[in-house]
C-alpha cells in the first residue's frame, strides 16, 4: 500500500468510526431503548430507529459495490426508510444496531487494506476511497441527527459521556 493510500485510508478509518469529529458511532447507539428509538417528535419526519435502519440500508448498498457486487438500486429513496417508526421488540432494535456497527467494521477493514483509488466495477466514475468517504459522511450526517433527537428527549449524553456533553 502506498504512503498516500495508507494516509488516506487512516483518515477514512477515523471518519468511519467517528474519531475526533464527533462521538464514536459505537458509543452513541448501544444504550438505546425501545422507547427512545421509536419516540417521535412533532415536525421531525423520522425516529432514531428509522435513522439506524436507513443508515444500514445505504451502508449495505455501498459495501456491496465495494465488494464488487451490483446492488439493486431502489426505485425511490423512500425504500431506504422503514415504514415502522419503532421496532416491535428489543431484539429488532439490537439487530439493527449490530448490523450497522458490523458494516462500519467491514468498511474500516476495506479502508485499511484496499487500493483506494481502484475504480468500482458497477459504479462508473467512483473509486473505493470515494465510496468509503460517502459511507463516512452519510453515517456522520445521520449520527448528528440521532444525537440531536436524543438531546431533545433528554437522553444525552450516553453512559460514559459524549462529545459534546
- Residue-wise pLDDT tens digits, 70-98: 999 999 999 999 999 999 999 999 999 99
Residue 164 lies in a domain: no
- Residue pair 62/129 in contact (Cβ under 8 Å)? The answer is no
Global pTM value: 0.94
- As a whole number of angstroms, the distance between CA 44 and CA 85 comes to 12
Instruction: Give the domain extent around 74.
Output: 3-152
How many CB atoms are located within 10 Å of the residue 64 CB? Answer: 14
- Span 118-128, pLDDT tens digits: 999 999 999 99
* Mean pLDDT across 22-27: 89
Residue 52 lies in a domain: yes
Say what angle helices 90-113 and 128-152 make with each other, to 10 degrees: 150
Residue 160 lies in a domain: no
Residue 49 lies in a domain: yes
Residue 159 lies in a domain: no
Give residue 17's pLDDT.
92
Residues forming a β-bridge with 119 = 127
pLDDT-based confidence at 51, cuts 50/70/90?
very high
Give residue 40's pLDDT.
95
**Residue 54 cell numbers, joined:** 436507513
- Residue pair 83/74 in contact (Cβ under 8 Å)? The answer is no
* Cis amide leading into 164 (omega within 30): yes
- Residue pair 49/87 in contact (Cβ under 8 Å)? The answer is yes
3-state secondary structure string, 44-95? Answer: CCCCHHHHHHHHHHHHHHHHHHHCCCCCCCCCCHHHHCCCCCCCCCHHHHHH
The CATH number assigned to the domain holding 127 equals 1.20.120.450
Give residue 163's pLDDT.
67
Residue 128 lies in a domain: yes
Residue 157 lies in a domain: no
Report how many domains make up the chain.
1
- Residue pair 158/24 in contact (Cβ under 8 Å)? The answer is no
- As a whole number of angstroms, the distance between CA 108 and CA 112 comes to 6
- Kindly tell me if the per-residue pLDDT of 165 is higher than 50: no
Amino acid at each position: 500500500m502506498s504512503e498516500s493510500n495508507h494516509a488516506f485510508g487512516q483518515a477514512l478509518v477515523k471518519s468511519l468510526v467517528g474519531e475526533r469529529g464527533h462521538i464514536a458511532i459505537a458509543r452513541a447507539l448501544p444504550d438505546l431503548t425501545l422507547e427512545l428509538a421509536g419516540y417521535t417528535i412533532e415536525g421531525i419526519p423520522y425516529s432514531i430507529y428509522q435513522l439506524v435502519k436507513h443508515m444500514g440500508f445505504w451502508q449495505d448498498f455501498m459495501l456491496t459495490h465495494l465488494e464488487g457486487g451490483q446492488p439493486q438500486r431502489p426505485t425511490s429513496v423512500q425504500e431506504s426508510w422503514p415504514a415502522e417508526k419503532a421496532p416491535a421488540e428489543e431484539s429488532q432494535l439490537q439487530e439493527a444496531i449490530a448490523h450497522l456497527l458490523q458494516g462500519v467494521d467491514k468498511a474500516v477493514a476495506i479502508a485499511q487494506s484496499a487500493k483506494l483509488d481502484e475504480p468500482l466495477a458497477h459504479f462508473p466514475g467512483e473509486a473505493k476511497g470515494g465510496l468509503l468517504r460517502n459511507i463516512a459522511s452519510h453515517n456522520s450526517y445521520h449520527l448528528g441527527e440521532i444525537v440531536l433527537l436524543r438531546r431533545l428527549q433528554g437522553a444525552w449524553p450516553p453512559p460514559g459521556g459524549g462529545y459534546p456533553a
